[in-house]
Copies of this chain bind each other. A is one copy, B any other.
Amino acid sequence: MEHAQPLQLASRTARLKSSLVRDILAAAARPGMISFAGGLPAADLMPALPVAATAKPELYQYGTSEGEPAYRTAVAAWVGETGLKVSPDQVLALAGSQQGLDFAAKLLIDEGTPLLCEGPTYVAALQVFQLFGADVACVPLGAEGPDLVAFEHLLETKRPRAAYLIPCFQNPGGACYSPEARVAVAALLDRYNVLLIEDEPYRSVALDVAHPMTPICALLQRAPWIYLGSFSKILWPGWRLGFLAAHPALMQHLVRLKQAADLHTQRPGQAAVAHWLGSDARTADLERLLQGYRLRRDAMQLALQRHFGDIADWTMPCGGLFFWLRLRDGLEATRATLDRAIARGVAFMPGEAFFVDPAEGRQYLRLNYSRATPEEMMRGLELLADCIHARETA
């Protein structure tokens, strides 16, 4: 007979850290808070759900792990419009693109596997990669792509098994890779034969597109790839619909991982998205949504110029849901700043949440523009600027 033992869990659970982002979002949900912290899309501007398509009794029964044929076909065509040509057989329906990160981690990451990410990068990707034990190295990111010298140096020295990139309207930094950066990155990945995980949740939130945004996956000659897409910024995120497309050599593994994870993605949501993708209203729906996003983005730009013009630098985002600010003159926006801001009724996301080494993020903050009203933006950013200044005089 055994004596009482402490709870034994898998070693990876030591890396299942409390998420700063989750903590902040919980605090930001308090009534009356002006929150620039989250990344909620504009659900009020989204097209109406095609209810009849979701309610069919023939969707009650279990479906296939790969996804509904109509969904896979419609998504393959939708992805094809980006310049990445895939067959429906290369598409896997997902419960949001976050699920694709879980599968990529399972497929690729052993304890200690080197992985290349952007710095800063998407927090929940970092979390799942680190949960599986990845040794993450980050390449510095500019407004038009990564530092290519640093990128090649990391490929050469770290020998990463995969690179995780968000080339369109990156979260949090807002970078949009130039056509030249896309070609150069693809060539480097091919040369070192490094698998690309290309994550594009914000591609459709393209407010002002200055240049073509061909997916890097479409430019690869040799390296294998996984392309992740989401409908959550344009269609009913609460329904959780995303997809991956992948190099044919990876599909069998990915379908088995899907089966082990949740058997298949709920069918009515797939039916709704397939219906919308095939509808005549699509272009007008999307333009109306983007027009709404543009108005909010522009209101935020105006409020920022008023209250942050003398203390921060930023590039107005041409897509995605965020402004990424770098404070001047040694000013910082840390967790302590956030605590003061929340006490005064305004929330933001400190830059430290987005770096493997939080110290790299102390000068940065991420501000979501899609939720607050113009009046809230003016009032909230004035308050926030005060809080950041107070940091210096504290």
Residues of A within 8 A of B (CB): 1-2, 4-5, 7-13, 16, 18-19, 22, 40-41, 43-44, 46, 48-49, 51, 54-55, 57, 59-63, 65, 94-96, 98-99, 101-102, 106-110, 113, 124, 127-128, 131-132, 159, 161, 191-193, 195, 222, 224, 232, 236-240, 249, 253, 256-257, 259-269
State how many angstroms separate the Cβ of A29 from the closest Cβ of chain B.
Answer: 9
Closest 5 A/B residue pairs (Cβ): A238-B267, A43-B60, A43-B61, A240-B266, A60-B236
Instruction: State whether A62 touches B261 (Cβ < 8 A).
Output: no
Instruction: State whether B98 touches A257 (Cβ < 8 A).
Output: no
Instruction: State whether A238 touches B46 (Cβ < 8 A).
Output: no
**Smallest CB gap from A94: residue in B:** B262
- Pick the contact of A240: B109, B238, B265 (CB < 8 A): B265
- Pick the contact of A61: B40, B109, B263 (CB < 8 A): B40
Instruction: State whether B237 touches A61 (Cβ < 8 A).
Output: yes
The answer for the CA separation of A370 and B47 in the assembled complex, in Å, is: 39
The answer for the CA separation of A19 and B5 in the assembled complex, in Å, is: 36
The answer for the CA separation of A193 and B5 in the assembled complex, in Å, is: 7
Instruction: State whether A222 touches B4 (Cβ < 8 A).
Output: yes
Contacts A/B (CB < 8 Å), 21 sampled: A2-B159, A2-B192, A7-B224, A8-B161, A10-B108, A10-B109, A10-B113, A18-B256, A19-B256, A22-B259, A40-B61, A43-B60, A49-B60, A51-B54, A59-B236, A61-B237, A95-B95, A96-B263, A128-B260, A266-B266, A266-B269
**Smallest CB gap from A263: residue in B:** B98
* Chain B contacts for A131, CB-based, 8 A: 106, 260
Among A9, A41, A161, A249, max chain B CB count under 10 A is at A9
Instruction: State whether B63 touches A13 (Cβ < 8 A).
Output: no
Instruction: State whether B107 touches A13 (Cβ < 8 A).
Output: yes
* Chain B contacts for A193, CB-based, 8 A: 2, 4-5
The answer for the CA separation of A287 and B238 in the assembled complex, in Å, is: 32
Instruction: State whether A106 touches B10 (Cβ < 8 A).
Output: yes
State how many angstroms separate the Cβ of A60 from the closest Cβ of chain B.
Answer: 4
The answer for the CA separation of A96 and B98 in the assembled complex, in Å, is: 17
A10-B110, A18-B256, A240-B266 given. 19 additional CB < 8 A pairs? A2-B191, A8-B108, A9-B107, A16-B253, A40-B62, A41-B61, A43-B61, A46-B60, A51-B54, A51-B55, A55-B55, A95-B266, A98-B260, A102-B262, A106-B131, A238-B266, A239-B267, A239-B268, A261-B261
The answer for the CA separation of A132 and B224 in the assembled complex, in Å, is: 24
Instruction: State whether A43 touches B22 (Cβ < 8 A).
Output: no
* Chain B contacts for A191, CB-based, 8 A: 1-2
**Smallest CB gap from A261: residue in B:** B102
* Chain B contacts for A12, CB-based, 8 A: 106, 110
Known: A55-B49, A253-B9. A98 touches B19 (CB 8 A): no
